[in-house]
């Protein structure tokens, strides 16, 4: 009996981020105690809505990071997709066509990322950084550095509508998380991300088309960034190049805090959801308790560094091999 219990406890610990769950519980109880309005449905809804764009983008980023890559371009794709759909609306284009074209262009940018990484044999950090800068420049050109309005009223349903009493963006996030989470665990094609992230060379020897999969994950990640941009534009019925400043770092932080390995091969959607909840609660601490918001970036930075240190420690414990920080951060994939 004792051995069976130990087996299930070890299995639970191995698949669940106990420390993160504990931290979420502590913050939740602390906010409930110090802020009497925290536990109201309206407050919890506002907290979720303020982080839902990061959450949707983090779902795609999880697969990218598991496969051993990174995608900084999502930081520019969110405002670009919002500006793009606004431009199409101002051209008197119908709503379905404007949305479809915006998402198609987002996917194309993701395909471009994957293509350049494949063809140039370049690091994903450098390629997506260049794309982020270029797409950011296109946003400035289209918007002329200002805010674009002129959205049809019906478009607001995407960001402000409700399904069975739940805000549509939150509903979409959980639907996406459920579907992507199941596919990542159960579907052979999606599960390839773990093999590629563990060892690209070994994945190729096993017959996995690494280049083709890379095209898929970067285009899929760009698609979700486009969706997040549409939701953001729909909430405010406006679009501008300053939307989502620094969001790419918050998205990456969400995935890393959720336990994904910077060197690839580890991570899951359920842990990313935990990471999103944790960072959303950390963000709400400053709002609910009236703390200076400029300290928020310092706390976020500390959280990311802590996650990296913990990841290195767990990796050494898991493999039994001591490695330098340079080897840890620049592991060949």
Cα atoms found within 13 Å of the Cα of residue 293, Cβ hemisphere only: 4
Residues facing residue 163 across a β-bridge: 166
Percent of the chain at pLDDT exceeding 90 = 59
- Residue range 235-265, pLDDT digits in tens: 999 999 988 888 998 899 899 888 888 788 8
Q: What is the three-class DSSP state of 231?
A: helix
CA distance 195 to 265: 7
Neighbours of 35 (CB within 10 A): 17
pLDDT at 332 over 60: no
Examine residue 312 and state whether it is found in any structural domain, yes or no. yes
Examine residue 3 and state whether it is found in any structural domain, yes or no. no
CATH number for the domain that contains residue 321 = 1.10.3470
CA distance 174 to 9: 27
Examine residue 10 and state whether it is found in any structural domain, yes or no. no
Tell me, what's the pLDDT at 19? 73
Higher pLDDT pick, 224 / 289: 224
The secondary structure element, H or E, covering residue 256 is: helix 247-257
CA distance 62 to 39: 30
| Residue for token pair 């390629």 | 127
Query: Residue 178 is encoded by which pair of tokens?
Result: 């459920």
Q: Angle at CA 170, nearest 5°, toward 168 and 176?
A: 100
Examine residue 71 and state whether it is found in any structural domain, yes or no. yes
Examine residue 9 and state whether it is found in any structural domain, yes or no. no
Higher pLDDT pick, 316 / 321: 316
The secondary structure element, H or E, covering residue 163 is: strand 162-163
Higher pLDDT pick, 19 / 97: 97
Examine residue 11 and state whether it is found in any structural domain, yes or no. no
Q: pTM value?
A: 0.88
Mean pLDDT of 209-224: 96
Percent of the chain at pLDDT exceeding 70 = 87
| Number of domain units in the chain | 1
* Segment 324-330 long-range contacts (CB within 8 Å, at least 24 positions apart): 328/262, 328/263, 329/262
- Residue range 45-62, pLDDT digits in tens: 999 999 999 999 999 999
Nearest residue to 131 via CA among 190, 85, 69, 185: 69
11 burial via Cβ count (<10 Å: 0-12, 13-18, 19+) = exposed
Examine residue 51 and state whether it is found in any structural domain, yes or no. yes
Of 118-127, 146-155, 182-191, 282-291, least confident by mean pLDDT is 282-291
Please list, residue by residue across 207-243, b when 16 or more beta carbons sit within 10 angstroms of its beta carbon and e when fewer do: ebebeebbbbbbbbbbbbbbbbbbbbbbbbbbbbbeb
Tell me, what's the pLDDT at 317? 66
Query: Residue 206 is encoded by which pair of tokens?
Result: 């096993």
Mean pLDDT of 86-91: 93
| Residue for token pair 């359920």 | 270
Mean pLDDT of 216-227: 97
Q: Which pLDDT band holds residue 299 (cuts at 50, 70, 90)?
A: confident
Examine residue 307 and state whether it is found in any structural domain, yes or no. yes
Domain that includes residue 110, residue range: 19-329
């Amino acid at each position: 009996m004792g051995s069976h219990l130990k087996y299930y406890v070890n299995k639970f610990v191995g698949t669940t981020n106990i420390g993160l769950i504990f931290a979420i519980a502590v913050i939740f109880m602390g906010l409930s105690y110090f802020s009497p309005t925290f536990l109201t449905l309206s407050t919890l809804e506002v907290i979720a809505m303020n982080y839902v764009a990061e959450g949707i983008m983090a779902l795609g980023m999880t697969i990218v990071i598991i496969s051993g890559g990174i995608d900084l371009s999502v930081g520019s794709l969110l405002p670009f997709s919002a500006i793009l759909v606004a431009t199409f609306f101002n051209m008197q284009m119908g709503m379905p066509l404007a949305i479809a074209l915006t998402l198609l262009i987002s996917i194309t940018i993701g395909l471009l990322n994957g293509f350049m990484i494949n063809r140039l044999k370049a690091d994903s950090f450098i390629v997506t950084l260049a794309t982020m800068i270029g797409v950011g420049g296109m946003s400035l050109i289209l918007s002329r550095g200002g805010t674009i309005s002129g959205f049809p009223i019906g478009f607001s349903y995407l960001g402000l509508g409700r399904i069975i009493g739940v805000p549509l963006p939150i509903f979409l996030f959980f639907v996406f998380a459920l579907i992507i989470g199941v596919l990542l665990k159960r579907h052979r094609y999606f599960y390839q991300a773990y093999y590629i992230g563990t060892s690209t060379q070994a994945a190729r020897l096993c017959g996995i088309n690494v280049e083709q999969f890379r095209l898929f994950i970067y285009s899929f990640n760009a698609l979700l960034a486009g969706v997040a941009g549409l939701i953001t534009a729909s909430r405010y019925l406006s679009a501008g190049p300053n939307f989502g400043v620094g969001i790419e770092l918050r998205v990456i932080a969400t995935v890393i805090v959720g336990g994904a390995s910077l060197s690839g091969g580890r991570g899951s959607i359920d842990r990313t959801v935990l990471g999103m909840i944790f960072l959303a609660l950390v963000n709400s601490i400053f709002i609910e308790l009236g703390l200076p918001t400029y300290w928020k970036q310092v706390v976020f930075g500390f959280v990311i560094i802590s996650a990296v240190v913990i990841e290195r420690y767990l990796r050494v414990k898991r493999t039994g091999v001591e490695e330098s920080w340079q080897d840890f951060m620049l592991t060949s994939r």
